[in-house]
């Protein structure tokens, strides 16, 4: 498969702040590629450069066969974008929003209308096509934006935190639609997210932190690097438990969010021993395979999940802007 996105040595600075600090990657045609990282890691900045909204400070970026600096309009013609924040004209109807989009992308009516109908039917908005977008819920707006982003048959669809601020049920629904659209159109998906379960679905994931890519591989292979099982222990006295685990078992425990976290080769065999031999009373034990969060933790010593609280702050901030 030929590459449809090629990024070489991309640097983006805003004044003294380096948002993206020299990243390289390629995305193949038809691939589902994810950018995973905490807020402020440089995900949106990278997407803005790829979508020709921001000029790179250094490096070369080719998207859909064209250089983003030299031929931005050819890039724009071939990509669709779902922004982090809604970007619909709420005073217009769903159909009018699509018509406006089709017009500025230079698609003839005979071509976009049947496509719009099919896409709207697929995301179950066909019946509401003549309603003002003002009356739509957050999830409906997102679905309409996905339809709009795909209307001009882009080679690549960029999704910048597409489910941020949506409830879990709506998030799942959006992903069902996206999977179906991908199956039917073969479009390349470029996703930025800090939701682990979304990144898990990608063909390949780049983990980004402080403007640098610190790992890039298929989610399974990334997790295989951490490799070992993870045991989470909840005890009456975590400090004593940690001490005992170090001294008597030779393990390297960590306390994360009030639970003791241990990595081990054979977690299933270790648990019975722990239960039998620890003198600290155990409240609960769980065992799991490593997640992408564990990969991030192993690479940076921090968790992506730590930053999720800021979702709420972000929502609050948006509400303030809106009202």
Partner 1 sequence: MATIEVVERLRPPSAVMRALIGIFTLWQRDLLRYWRDRTRIAGGLAQPLLFLIIFGAGLSPWMGTLGGATVGPDYLQFLYPGIIGMSVLFSSIFSAVSVVWDREFGFLKELLVAPIPRWAIVIGKALGGSTTSMLQGLLLLLLAPLIGVRLQLGTILLLIPLLFLLAFSLSSIGLVIAARMRSTEGFGLVMNFLVTPLLFLSGALYPLNNLPTWLTVLTRIDPVTYGIDAIRRVVLSSAGVPQPVIDQLGVTLFGHPLHPLLDAAIVLILGIFLIVLAARQFARPD
CA nearest 268: which of 225, 220, 227, 229? 229
Judged by CB under 8 A, the stretch of 80-88, 169-177, 237-245, 288-296 that binds partner 1 is 80-88
Question: Does the footprint of partner 1 cover residue 291 (CB under 8 A)?
Answer: no
CA nearest 80: which of 94, 63, 55, 92? 63
Instruction: Annotate each residue in 185-214 with x if it binds partner 1 (CB under 8 A) or - if it does not, as one string.
Output: xx----------------------------
Question: Does the footprint of partner 1 cover residue 100 (CB under 8 A)?
Answer: yes
Question: Does the footprint of partner 1 cover residue 92 (CB under 8 A)?
Answer: yes
Question: Does the footprint of partner 1 cover residue 53 (CB under 8 A)?
Answer: yes
Choose between 6 and 71: whose C-beta lies nearer to partner 1.
Answer: 71
Least distance from partner 1 to the Cβ atom of residue 153, Å: 4
Question: Does the footprint of partner 1 cover residue 52 (CB under 8 A)?
Answer: yes
**Residue 89: CA atoms inside 13 Å, Cβ hemisphere, count?**
11
Q: Binding to partner 1 (CB under 8 A): which residues in 130-169?
A: 148, 151-153
Question: Does the footprint of partner 1 cover residue 184 (CB under 8 A)?
Answer: yes
Contact 155, 79 (CB under 8 A): yes
Q: Tokens in use for 134?
A: 């003002």
CA nearest 167: which of 205, 124, 204, 138? 138
From CA 130, how far away is CA 292, in angstroms rounded?
A: 42
Residue in the structure block whose two tokens are 């241990």: 262
Question: Does the footprint of partner 1 cover residue 90 (CB under 8 A)?
Answer: yes
CB proximity list for 294: less than 8 A, separation 6 or greater: 223, 226, 230
From CA 132, how far away is CA 120, in angstroms rounded?
A: 15
Residues of the shown chain interacting with partner 1 in the complex, contacts defined by CB under 8 A: 14, 48, 51-55, 73-74, 76-77, 79, 81, 83, 85-92, 96, 100-101, 103-108, 111-112, 114-115, 118-119, 122, 148, 151-153, 181, 183-186, 321-322
């Amino acid at each position: 498969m030929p590459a449809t996105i090629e990024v070489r040595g991309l640097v983006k600075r805003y004044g003294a702040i380096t948002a993206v600090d020299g990243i390289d990657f390629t995305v193949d045609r038809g691939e589902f590629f994810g950018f995973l990282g905490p807020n402020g890691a440089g995900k949106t900045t990278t997407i803005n450069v790829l979508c020709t909204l921001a000029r790179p400070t250094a490096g070369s970026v080719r998207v859909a066969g064209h250089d983003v600096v030299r031929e931005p309009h050819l890039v724009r013609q071939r990509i669709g974008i779902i922004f982090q924040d809604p970007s619909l004209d709420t005073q217009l109807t769903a159909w009018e929003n699509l018509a406006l989009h089709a017009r500025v992308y230079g698609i003839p009516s005979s071509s976009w209308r049947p496509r719009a109908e099919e896409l709207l039917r697929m995301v179950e908005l066909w019946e509401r096509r003549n309603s003002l977008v003002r009356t739509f819920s957050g999830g409906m707006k997102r679905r309409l934006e996905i339809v709009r982003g795909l209307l001009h048959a882009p080679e690549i669809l960029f999704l910048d935190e597409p489910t941020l601020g949506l409830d879990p049920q709506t998030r799942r629904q959006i992903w069902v639609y996206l999977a179906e659209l991908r199956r039917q159109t073969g479009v390349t998906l470029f996703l930025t997210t800090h939701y682990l379960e979304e990144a898990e679905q990608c063909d390949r994931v780049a983990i980004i932190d402080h403007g640098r890519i610190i790992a890039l591989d298929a989610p399974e292979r990334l997790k295989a690097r951490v490799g070992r099982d993870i045991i989470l222990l909840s005890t009456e006295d975590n400090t004593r438990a940690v001490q005992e685990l170090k001294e008597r078992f030779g393990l390297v425990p960590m306390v994360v969010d009030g639970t003791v976290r241990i990595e081990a080769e054979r977690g299933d065999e270790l648990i019975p021993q722990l239960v039998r031999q620890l003198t600290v009373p155990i409240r609960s034990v769980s065992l799991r395979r490593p997640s992408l969060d564990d990969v991030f933790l192993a690479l940076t010593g921090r968790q992506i999940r730590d930053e999720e609280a800021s979702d709420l702050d972000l929502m609050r901030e948006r509400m303030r802007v809106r009202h």
